[in-house]
Amino acid sequence: MSETLAIYGGTPAVDSSKVVNWPPIDEIDEKMVMDALHQRTQSRGIHNLEFEKEFAAWNGNQYALFTNSGTAALHMCLVGCGVGAGDHVLVTAYSWSSSATCILHHDAIPIFVDINPETFLMDPDKIEAAITPRTKAIIVVQLHGLCDDMDKINAIAKKHNLKVIEDACQAHGALYKGHKAGTLGDCAAFSFNQNKCLCCGEGGMFVTNDKDIYDAAAKLWSFGETARPEQNRDYHAYALGWMYRNNEITAAYGRAQLSKYDYYFKTLRGNGEYLLENLKGTPNLLLPYEPEWATHNWYNFNLRIDFDKLGITDPQEQVKFRNAVAAALKDEGTGASVWQRFTLPEMTVFRAKNAYGHGYPWSIPGADEGVDYSLEKFPNALAYSRKYISLVKTLRAPNGLDIAEQVRDGIVKVFSNLDQIDPERINAIVEARKKKK
Ligand SMILES: *Cc1c(COP(=O)(O)O)cnc(C)c1O
């Protein structure tokens, strides 16, 4: 079956006029936001306090603090866990940059661990070899909305007396053996930016069940103070702090979205399961999988090109071909894109071993001992970064199975016609469009 791909002028597989943009907004959002706008208090009022309570109750955490980003919540996790200058913190080799730069901001050193090639998550079997005498914590990124094998990781952490921080920024509602992401370690960070399954424009949530971790994190969150802004403050800096709070209007929007989350989750699960089932057998396409321990939230439904089968071995050729396939999929209306193109150890801030200038924090005496960012150590992360394509927002509510079916058709169309993929030609088309803009 040969069809003209949309990128070459054919008809797109997806009727984009039927796809609703993320996030869907209704009268609940409007009412909540207008309420916040008109109340006297616009910071640390009822919406902040209720959002924290509601999120904690929904997720199963004792404590929650609403922040202005997921990255801020990650910083709070590090200080909550007592990570300090010269400590080592383990983190996956493939994630968003702030999963690892949050470590540098606390003057500590990221130690990367390669991913498992099937889950794309930190490989628990490679953790112990990465532990050094300075290691204090492990940041487990529940990437794409899939939880890592937490029993294994928590057992290693216990044996070596390490704290476990969850980067749950993509994992709202994802489960590990029936337990929610954000309840699986010592503390966790969620993000509510617009890409995430739960969003409020920009924002995040720090969660924990540990009072001491909570108190330390709370100081960092608001100027090093110990009293919440809604309490009697003494305006005394008890520790180093930032201003990581968020406002009432954003909190009200977050509460409105949270009230609809169970429907969002079900819809996305349904679409993910549909694709998983109905893309089976597509030529040269590797599908994600759900390990027996996990309930994926399908934040990101990943497609991988089977380069072994295609016989494309050169890394640069792989990247060119992948980018062309992603552009073709995008033009079919699937919403496909390429997310993080680099592994973390490839990023300049780590390669240069310089964050705060003068080589700091690696220049702390002894801190650089046993630190090795040689790329040969991360073959799975590198291979993954070259062959994956992500599907993110198109599969979200209210887009249901009718859209998922069209997305499936678009994917099958492109992967059944890979002989039409001409990276040079597609690159020229994409570049010409950019110039027109
Ligand atoms: C989005 C994201 C973050 C950062 O969240 P922000 O709210 O954008 O600061 C951190 N880690 C991961 C894995 C993310 O996807």
**What are the tens digits of pLDDT across the range 274-323?**
999 999 999 999 999 999 999 999 999 999 999 999 999 999 999 999 99
Indicate which residue's Cα is closest to atom 2 of ligand 1: 169
pLDDT at 1 over 60: no
Please indicate whether residue 68, judged by its CB atom, sits closer than 6 Å to ligand 1.
no
What's residue 2's pLDDT?
64
Two structure tokens written together for 93: 């080799």
CA 67 to ligand 1 centroid distance, Å? 12
Print burial letters for 404-421: b (CB count within 10 Å at least 16), e (below 16): bbbbbbbbbbbbbbbebb
Please indicate whether residue 205, judged by its CB atom, sits closer than 6 Å to ligand 1.
no
| Pocket probe mutation, ligand 1, options 68, 69, 71, max atoms within 8 Å of Cβ | 71
pLDDT in tens, 157-186: 999 999 999 999 999 999 999 999 999 999
pLDDT in tens, 196-229: 999 999 999 999 999 999 999 999 999 999 999 9
pLDDT in tens, 376-389: 999 999 999 999 99
CA 98 to ligand 1 centroid distance, Å? 7
Please indicate whether residue 104, judged by its CB atom, sits closer than 6 Å to ligand 1.
no
pLDDT in tens, 232-260: 999 999 999 999 999 999 999 999 999 99
Calculate the average pLDDT of the chain. Answer: 97
Two structure tokens written together for 390: 């992500």
The closest-lying atom of ligand 1 relative to the alpha carbon of residue 192 is 7
Q: Band of the pLDDT at 3, cuts 50, 70, 90? A: confident
Q: Are 73 and 205 in contact (CB under 8 A)?
A: yes
The closest-lying atom of ligand 1 relative to the alpha carbon of residue 141 is 13
| Pocket probe mutation, ligand 1, options 99, 115, 199, max atoms within 8 Å of Cβ | 99
CA 299 to ligand 1 centroid distance, Å? 12
pLDDT at 59 over 80: yes
CA 403 to ligand 1 centroid distance, Å? 27
The closest-lying atom of ligand 1 relative to the alpha carbon of residue 195 is 1
Q: At what angle are helices 423-436 and 315-331 packed, to 10 degrees?
A: 60
The closest-lying atom of ligand 1 relative to the alpha carbon of residue 170 is 15
CA 71 to ligand 1 centroid distance, Å? 6
Q: What percent of the chain has pLDDT over 70?
A: 100
The closest-lying atom of ligand 1 relative to the alpha carbon of residue 143 is 13
Please indicate whether residue 67, judged by its CB atom, sits closer than 6 Å to ligand 1.
no
Q: Are 54 and 195 in contact (CB under 8 A)?
A: no
The closest-lying atom of ligand 1 relative to the alpha carbon of residue 69 is 7
pLDDT in tens, 418-436: 999 999 999 999 999 999 8
What's residue 436's pLDDT?
86
Please indicate whether residue 135, judged by its CB atom, sits closer than 6 Å to ligand 1.
no
The closest-lying atom of ligand 1 relative to the alpha carbon of residue 99 is 11
The closest-lying atom of ligand 1 relative to the alpha carbon of residue 95 is 13
Give the integer Cα–Cα distance in Å for 34 and 69: 22
pLDDT at 133 over 70: yes
Which residues pair with residue 389 across a beta bridge?
Answer: 303
CA 170 to ligand 1 centroid distance, Å? 7
CA 334 to ligand 1 centroid distance, Å? 23
Give the integer Cα–Cα distance in Å for 261 and 264: 5
What is the Cα gyration radius of the chain?
22
CA 204 to ligand 1 centroid distance, Å? 9
Please indicate whether residue 300, judged by its CB atom, sits closer than 6 Å to ligand 1.
no
